């Protein structure tokens, strides 16, 4: 038996009980129409599950074939497709001659549905002896009045010509003359498709004759025309000028599918600026108008691929404003890709327009509360940040818009704004006064302790001159009355505090008016009941409502026990006082400000120890505030230089390190893009290992390669390379077993394909050789492999699909059952371990996102380091290699030898699950031979991911120890 079995119609069925053949014959012979239908369905399912009923064929021909019921006719077509039509010696069964006569009658049936479905069935037949007598009837169907019959007749002739061209030698001429007379689009499409594959020259002649009417054709025919033009122009570049205008016309087709294919074809055929612009504009229109998010993402990927081509990037830079129209889409992923694309394309001439659009987008998010609004705001902030750093001229326009975010309830967006302000204020000294002014204005409206803390640091570091007193006044206003303990005691006693007096004074005018209105009512207020009478209620009958104490923001943080903000405030006030002392020559003014600042610090300390706050001040914060007080009282030069100089220097170094890291990443990306050199060797698809997709290559070849590769992230070279395949082969039985089996495991995005080679090592014919599999973990067998018959020393390949639902280690086990002339035998197979590493790919994220995920994920797995490595960096490299994770900690932070190392790692699974890891390792510096010790903490959203990753690390450590 050959290793290639025809692919039949697949019908899913639960485990069936094997029915008695006599009972089936009785139902088919004597049952009514409904019984025959149900029995026929059962027979089909049993045949698909590997049962064999050779005696049923004649019964079905005698008692079922003559029945004129449409359901039975449809079921019979499936039955004749899957039933074995040849005997054991490979000759056609005699009964099939009767079936062939039935086919011929159906092809001449007056009902067009029966004719059409029979023609579709004939496309699947692989027996020329059955097809030969039917050829006149098939040809006659080309002239049928109904388009359903005609288009299926064309498909039947196409497949017969492709498989057995001697049955219809004049196929291309027949279809070419048929095409000239047809008006129906589906018939024309099928006929044109046949000419495209069977006789390209005739297809080109037809296209040349009607090239001006192409835009009036239906979309199904237009798609085939695009394919033909692509193939012809790729094979013969001289034909490009003849057909490129036709492609331009198809860019305006009413069908989105045709426009997408035409745009893709156009940029592979021509790199002229007009062609690139037309294709990119077409893609952008598709993204804007198409409602499906998946389509939007696919087309955006095409635009990104165009942008990465050097010749196209310059042309696409003029389309940035069109790209930004995509931001109207509500999906956050679409917006993220759009902003990244626009950022890569923007240049000095259109940056101003882009900033205006982004400012409008920022304004739109203010009053809209949607689950993704916070993330979108954060995206906009980061994009504006990058724009301002890339093009400093627009920073002055961007800063006022971004500062508004500081009062936003979304802490992430506000934190990103402060990161931007910190970088801008350091890099652009000319903008410092403007930034400080806006920051002072926004300071009282900030709602988060974390944001206030960062804002306080920026103000303390960069405020100069007359703005120092202004900042201290704003801080005092946001802190409230000092000393704070006395104010809180008065508040507790019910007396009015300074803030309440000020609030009353400011609201005095309004209060006077309302008092005049309400003076007649006294303590009681009149209310109207449902029947129209007045009901009176007084203060004595109402339960007292406890009012929430409203304090200034900074005071509220301290009362909630957050004294870290108090320590940061103390450091800022110290810097301001020291800087003011340098500017102000008069000693009294210096001392007045210093005492004012010291009073605030001592008041914070006093409040921390008083018992009023929900948590007392920590020793660390107490020490920091004392250091600030001591610095102001003693003013030693060393302490002054630390406060006034070193902090800013440290920030400058950090920003420079970040910039260097970004540049390094950019260079790595540029290195990764493959450039084709003039002396590069010519590549032959059959001989090459596959390459990354490049524009201008044969997209049909690459799409086929990618389909074979399975997952999108798999490199084509990994799939095509014979060495990599050999590494994934698992031996399932021993060499001395009667049946030898080995499996190649191919992990795709949502399933695993097992390609099992089975070799018969005996001198007997093995009947019903069946591969039986079972799974453990989140794996599920999709279909049962069909039984096969193996001749002596023959072999075959059996494929089995296993569905994967989550990222977890899984096990597949089973056996091979076969029958010989004497008995039934079973060979037990080795287990196949599905490795979690096949699902995991390295990924990157920001520190903030890492911390957020670390906080949110509930499953943690702690693995103790047990290794033979003596170098910290070598162990880290080994860990990254064995877990497919990416190290987020920069190289500079890990360089040097200090005896310990801490690093964060991150990876994503192909199902979109995140995996985080934190490495903490150490070794004594003075003992070079000592081994690395420490632990790795893994966090993930699902338990399986955390445990499987931990198991992988443990097993890789064991292997390294054994190797040592």
User: What SS3 state is found at 676?
Assistant: coil
Q: How confident is the model at residue 350 (pLDDT cuts 50, 70, 90)?
A: confident
Q: Cα dist. 849→483, 663, 686, 812 in Å?
A: 39, 22, 45, 36
Strand pairing category for 525-528 and 788-790: unpaired
Res 767 pLDDT > 50: yes
Which of 110-114, 216-220, 588-592, 916-920 comes out lowest in average pLDDT? 216-220
User: What SS3 state is found at 535?
Assistant: strand
Structure-token pair, residue 886: 């990416």
**C-beta neighbour count of 538 within 10 angstroms:** 10
Element (H, E) at 863: strand 859-864
**C-beta neighbour count of 216 within 10 angstroms:** 8
Res 717 pLDDT > 50: no
Res 395 pLDDT > 80: yes
Per-residue pLDDT at 894? 80
> Distance between alpha carbon 471 and the CA centroid of its chain, in Å?
46
Per-residue pLDDT at 920? 92
Per-residue pLDDT at 520? 42
Per-residue pLDDT at 696? 45
Res 507 pLDDT > 80: no
DSSP E strands in 643-738: the ranges are 729-731
- How many CA within 13 A on the CB side of residue 937? 11
Average pLDDT for 238-255: 79
Average pLDDT, the chain: 79
| Residue for token pair 């798999």 | 714
Give the C-alpha separation, 555 to 483, whole Å: 11
Structure-token pair, residue 516: 């005049």
Asked if 461 and 571 count as a contact pair (C-beta separation under 8 A), the reply is no
In the DSSP assignment, the letter for residue 368 is -
Q: How confident is the model at residue 586 (pLDDT cuts 50, 70, 90)?
A: confident
First to last CA, the chain: 50
Asked if 156 and 119 count as a contact pair (C-beta separation under 8 A), the reply is yes
The 10s digit of each residue's pLDDT in 862-898 is 999 888 888 888 888 888 888 888 898 887 778 777 7
Share of the chain above pLDDT 90, in %: 6
Asked if 49 and 784 count as a contact pair (C-beta separation under 8 A), the reply is yes
Burial of 459 (0-12, 13-18, 19+ CB in 10 A): buried
The 10s digit of each residue's pLDDT in 189-216 is 888 788 878 887 887 787 777 777 777 7
Strand partners, 934: 921
Per-residue pLDDT at 42? 84
Burial of 53 (0-12, 13-18, 19+ CB in 10 A): middle
What b/e string do you get for 246-269 counting C-beta neighbours within 10 Å, with b at 16 or more? bbbebbebeebebbbbbbbbbbbb
Higher pLDDT, 219 or 699: 219
Res 708 pLDDT > 60: no
Per-residue pLDDT at 625? 92
**C-beta neighbour count of 579 within 10 angstroms:** 19
Give the C-alpha separation, 899 to 927, whole Å: 10
Q: Cα dist. 368→351, 371, 372, 406 in Å?
A: 26, 10, 10, 17
The 10s digit of each residue's pLDDT in 323-343 is 889 888 888 889 999 999 998
Structure-token pair, residue 592: 């007045």
The 10s digit of each residue's pLDDT in 655-690 is 888 778 777 777 766 655 456 667 766 666 555 554
The 10s digit of each residue's pLDDT in 908-927 is 887 778 899 999 998 887 77
Give the C-alpha separation, 174 to 68, whole Å: 33
Structure-token pair, residue 852: 């957020």
The 10s digit of each residue's pLDDT in 602-619 is 999 998 888 888 888 999
Res 405 pLDDT > 80: no
Q: Return all residues near 440 (Cβ < 8 A) that are at least 6 apart.
A: 459, 467, 470, 471, 474
896 phi/psi in degrees, rounded to 5: 90, 170
- For the domain spanning 838-958, the CATH number is 3.30.310.10
Domains in the chain: boundaries: 346-446, 448-491+550-649, 726-834, 838-958
| Residue for token pair 């239908």 | 37
Strand pairing category for 886-887 and 859-864: unpaired
The 10s digit of each residue's pLDDT in 281-315 is 999 999 998 888 888 888 898 888 888 887 788 88
Res 66 pLDDT > 50: yes
Q: Return all residues near 718 (Cβ < 8 A) that are at least 6 apart.
A: 709, 724
In the DSSP assignment, the letter for residue 810 is E
CATH top class, domain 726-834:
mainly beta
Of 122-126, 311-315, 629-633, which has the strongest mean pLDDT? 629-633
Asked if 728 and 744 count as a contact pair (C-beta separation under 8 A), the reply is yes
| Residue for token pair 């003596």 | 870
Q: How many residues belong to the chain?
A: 964
Structure-token pair, residue 435: 């930034």
Per-residue pLDDT at 759? 92
Burial of 413 (0-12, 13-18, 19+ CB in 10 A): buried
Element (H, E) at 905: strand 900-909
Measuring CA to CA, which residue among 581, 664, 565, 605 is closest to residue 484? Answer: 605
User: What SS3 state is found at 532?
Assistant: coil
């Amino acid at each position: 038996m050959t290793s290639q079995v025809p692919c039949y119609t697949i019908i899913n069925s639960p485990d069936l009980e094997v029915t008695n053949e006599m009972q089936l014959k009785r139902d088919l012979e004597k049952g009514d129409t409904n019984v025959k239908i149900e029995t026929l369905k059962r027979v089909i399912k049993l045949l698909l599950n590997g049962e064999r009923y050779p005696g049923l064929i004649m019964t079905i021909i005698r008692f079922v074939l003559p029945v004129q019921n449409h359901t039975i006719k449809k079921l019979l077509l499936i039955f004749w497709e899957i039933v074995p039509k040849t005997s054991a010696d490979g000759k056609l069964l005699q009964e099939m001659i009767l079936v062939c006569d039935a086919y011929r009658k159906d092809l001449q049936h007056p009902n067009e549905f029966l004719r059409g479905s029979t023609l579709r069935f004939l496309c699947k037949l692989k027996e020329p002896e059955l097809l030969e007598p039917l050829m006149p009837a098939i040809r006659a169907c080309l002239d049928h009045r109904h388009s359903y019959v005609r288009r299926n007749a064309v498909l039947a002739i196409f497949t017969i010509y492709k498989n057995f061209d001697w049955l219809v030698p004049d196929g291309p001429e027949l279809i070419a003359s048929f095409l000239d007379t047809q008006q129906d689009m589906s018939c024309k499409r099928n006929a044109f498709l046949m000419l495209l594959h069977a006789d390209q020259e005739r297809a080109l002649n037809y296209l040349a004759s009607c090239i001006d009417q192409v835009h009036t054709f239906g979309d199904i025919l237009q798609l085939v025309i695009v394919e033909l033009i692509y193939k012809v122009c790729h094979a013969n570049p001289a034909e490009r000028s003849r057909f490129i205008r036709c492609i331009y016309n198809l860019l305006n087709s009413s069908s989105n599918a045709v426009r997408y294919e035409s745009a893709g074809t156009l940029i592979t055929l021509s790199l002229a600026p007009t062609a690139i612009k037309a294709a990119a504009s077409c893609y952008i229109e598709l993204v804007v108008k198409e409602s499906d998010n998946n389509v939007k993402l696919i087309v955006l990927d095409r635009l990104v691929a165009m942008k990465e081509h050097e010749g196209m990037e310059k042309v696409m830079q003029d389309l940035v404003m069109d790209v930004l129209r995509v931001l109207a889409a509500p999906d956050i992923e679409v917006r993220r890709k759009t902003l990244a694309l626009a950022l890569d394309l923007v240049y000095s001439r259109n940056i101003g327009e882009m900033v205006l659009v982004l400012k409008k987008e920022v304004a739109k998010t203010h009053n809209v509360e949607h689950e993704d609004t916070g993330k979108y705001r954060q995206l906009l902030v980061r994009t504006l940040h990058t724009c301002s750093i890339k093009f400093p001229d627009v920073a002055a326009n961007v800063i006022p818009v971004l500062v508004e975010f500081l009062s936003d309830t979304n802490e992430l967006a506000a934190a990103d704004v402060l990161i931007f302000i910190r970088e801008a204020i350091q890099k652009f000294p000319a903008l410092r006064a403007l930034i400080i002014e806006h920051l002072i204005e926004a300071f009282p409206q900030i709602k988060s302790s974390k944001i206030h803390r960062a804002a306080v640091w920026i103000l303390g570091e960069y405020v100069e001159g007359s703005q120092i007193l202004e900042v201290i006044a704003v801080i005092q206003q946001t802190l409230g009355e000092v000393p704070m303990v006395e104010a809180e005691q008065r508040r507790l006693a019910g007396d009015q505090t300074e803030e309440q007096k000020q609030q009353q004074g400011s609201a005095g005018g309004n209060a006077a008016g309302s008092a005049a209105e309400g003076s007649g009512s006294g303590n009681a207020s009149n209310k109207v009941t449902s029947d129209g009478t007045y009901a009176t209620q007084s203060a004595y009958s109402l339960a007292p409502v406890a009012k929430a104490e409203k304090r200034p923001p900074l005071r509220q943080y301290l009362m909630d026990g957050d004294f870290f903000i108090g320590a940061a405030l103390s450091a800022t006030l110290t810097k301001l006082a020291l800087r003011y002392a340098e500017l102000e020559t008069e000693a009294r003014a210096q001392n007045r400000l210093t005492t004012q600042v010291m009073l605030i610090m001592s008041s914070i300390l006093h409040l921390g120890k008083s018992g009023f706050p929900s948590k007392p001040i920590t020793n660390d914060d107490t020490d920091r505030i004392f250091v600030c007080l001591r610095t102001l009282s003693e003013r030693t030069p060393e302490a002054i230089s630390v406060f006034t100089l070193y902090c800013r220097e440290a920030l400058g170094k950090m920003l420079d390190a970040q910039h260097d890291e970004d540049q390094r990443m950019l260079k790595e990306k540029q290195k990764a893009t493959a450039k084709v050199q003039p002396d590069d060797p010519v590549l032959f698809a059959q001989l090459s290992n596959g390459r990354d997709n490049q524009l201008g290559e044969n997209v049909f070849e690459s799409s086929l390669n990618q389909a074979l590769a399975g997952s999108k992230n798999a490199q084509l070279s990994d799939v095509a390379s014979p060495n990599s395949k050999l590494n994934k082969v698992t031996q399932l039985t021993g060499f001395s077993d009667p049946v030898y089996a080995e499996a190649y495991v191919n992990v795709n995005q949502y399933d695993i394909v097992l390609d099992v080679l089975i070799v018969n090592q005996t001198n007997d014919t093995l009947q019903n050789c069946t591969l039986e599999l079972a799974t453990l973990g989140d794996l599920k067998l999709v279909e049962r492999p069909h039984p096969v018959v193996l001749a002596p020393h023959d072999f075959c390949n059996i494929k089995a699909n296993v569905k994967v639902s989550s990222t977890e280690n899984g096990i597949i086990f089973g056996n091979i059952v076969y029958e010989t002339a004497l008995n039934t035998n079973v060979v037990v197979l080795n287990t196949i371990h599905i490795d979690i590493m096949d699902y995991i790919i390295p990924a990157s994220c920001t520190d903030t996102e890492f911390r957020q995920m670390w906080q949110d994920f509930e499953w943690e797995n702690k693995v103790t380091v047990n290794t033979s490595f003596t170098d910290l960096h070598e162990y880290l490299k080994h860990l990254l290699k064995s877990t497919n994770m990416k190290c987020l900690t920069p190289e500079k932070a890990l360089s040097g030898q200090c005896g310990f190392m801490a690093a964060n790692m991150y990876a994503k699974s192909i199902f979109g699950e995140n995996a985080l890891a934190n490495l903490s390792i150490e070794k004594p510096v003075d003992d070079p031979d000592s081994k690395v010790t420490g632990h790795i903490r893994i966090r993930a959203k699902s338990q399986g991911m955390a445990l499987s990753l931990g198991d992988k690390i443990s097993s890789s450590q064991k292997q390294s120890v054994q190797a040592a």
